[in-house]
Amino acid sequence: MSHPLVFIHGWGQHGGAWQGLLEPLSAQHPIYNLELPGHGAADWQTLGFDLDTLVDRYAAQVPAPCTVIGWSLGGILALRWAQRYPAQVQKLVLIATTPCFGERRDWPHGTPDAVQQAFAAAIATNPTQGLQRFADLLAEGEADVRGVRRQLRALLAAAPQPNTDALSAGLDFLAETDLRARLHEAPPQQATLLLHGEGDTITPFAAAEWLAATLPHARLHAMPQCGHAPMLSHSAEVLAALQMFLDD
């Protein structure tokens, strides 16, 4: 059996996001399906959203060598993991990932402060509705927006709702984290696959193009008419690209 595959999902979701990939990949690879603090079955009290602390905890749970596969916020953690543990992370897969989620003066490829604040207020007021609204936005850019929205809402309903404090902390993490300088100074040297929807409105495609130009051994797989959750909406294409990358 080949080396382990480590999966890290995105904000507001849980490990079930990978449901279409785990079974076929588990025939050849041990699977580690990690969850964000306070999401799914992961504890919130003993974990937090400090970047390096969380990466260190994850790294301690997985043998070397491994491939780390991160989606959205999970991709930010995967990037930092590859930097901190280059001997452990053999390959890196980043799905709908950005080095900087928030919009900056020198970074137009992020989410404006007003949108982030609106989501933070929605989570504080009514977490269930806020998560459903966010799930709906993940489907923007898809050829079948309604169908993908149904998939995402069903995914939300398949696990307990994330801890509200964890959701707020995750939004703060996204607003504050900017890996661009670190990636310029010490770009991960691992072979990297970037899977990104061209219609993604959460992490624009330009963010993936920036990563492709910055990471020395990255290849970008663009998916037309695809939003922020390609492992759900384009699961067959994502699986085929993953298998080809892992076998290379």
Tens-digit pLDDT profile for residues 206-232: 999 999 999 999 999 999 999 999 999
Q: Categorize the per-residue pLDDT at 119 as very low, low, confident or very high, splitting at 50, 70 and 90.
A: confident
Structure tokens at 18: 């990978």
CB atoms within 10 A of CB 34: 21
Dihedrals φ, ψ of 21, to 5°? Answer: -110, -30
Based on the residue annotation, tell me whether 72 is a catalytic residue of this protein: yes
Q: What pLDDT is recorded for position 115?
A: 86
Tens-digit pLDDT profile for residues 131-145: 999 999 999 999 999
| Residue 40 CA from chain centroid, whole number | 15
Instruction: Please state, rounded to an integer, the average pLDDT across all residues of the chain.
Output: 95
Q: Categorize the per-residue pLDDT at 1 as very low, low, confident or very high, splitting at 50, 70 and 90.
A: low
Catalytic residue among 39, 196, 200, 221: 200
DSSP state of 94: E
- Give CA–CA dist 197/71, Å, rounded: 12
Reply yes or no on whether the pLDDT at 187 is more than 90: yes
Catalytic residue among 196, 228, 233, 234: 228
Reply yes or no on whether the pLDDT at 46 is more than 90: no
Residues 197-216 as b/e (b if ≥16 CB within 10 A, e otherwise) read bebbebbbbebbebbbeebe
- 219, HSE (Cβ side, Cα atoms, 13 Å): 10
- Look at the domain 5-247 and name its fold: Rossmann fold (3.40.50)
Q: What pLDDT is recorded for position 43?
A: 87
Catalytic residue among 14, 29, 72, 221: 72
Tens-digit pLDDT profile for residues 70-97: 999 999 999 999 999 999 999 999 999 9
Please, are residues 43 and 166 in contact by the beta-carbon 8 Å criterion? no
Structure tokens at 172: 């703060």
Please give the share of the chain, as a percent, with pLDDT higher than 70.
99
pTM of the model: 0.97
Based on the residue annotation, tell me whether 248 is a catalytic residue of this protein: no
Reply yes or no on whether the pLDDT at 238 is more than 80: yes
Reply yes or no on whether the pLDDT at 2 is more than 90: no
Mean pLDDT value across residues 201-205: 95
Residue with tokens 């989570």: 123
